[in-house]
Amino acid sequence: MDQLMIIYIVLDVLKLHQPNLPDFAVFIKELEGIEKVDVNVIEIDDKTESIKVIIEGIIDYKSISAHMIKVGAEIKSVDQVVVGHARE
């Protein structure tokens, strides 16, 4: 049966310098249902980085938010969402 799911999301995220971008992307990709993660630096200051995170797959927003908090990252805003049908 088809159900509507978030299949693409763009997030504005504030994170600490560690983990670095490759490790952070892999950390997000570890979540079930995530097919692709694209991370871009927007701004860097002394202690943090503002990044744009683009995620594709079957996305559970609450799980992503909770997962990011584990490494000191916080979602500042949701900039784009695409919802589509996901096959069970």
Structure tokens that stand for 65 in this block:
């938010």
pLDDT in tens, 69-84: 999 999 999 999 999 9
Classify 2-82 by CATH class. Answer: alpha beta
Q: Where are the domains of the chain?
A: 2-82
Residue 50 confidence (pLDDT) above 90? yes
Residue 2 confidence (pLDDT) above 80? no
Percentage of the chain beyond pLDDT 90 is 92
Orientation of helix 61-69 relative to helix 21-29, angle to 10°: 140
Instruction: Judge residue 6's burial from the number of C-beta atoms within 10 Å of its C-beta, 0-12 exposed, 13-18 middle, 19 or more buried.
Output: buried
pLDDT in tens, 17-49: 999 999 999 999 999 999 999 999 999 999 999
Tell me the pTM: 0.92
Closest CA to 67 of 38, 25, 36, 39: 25
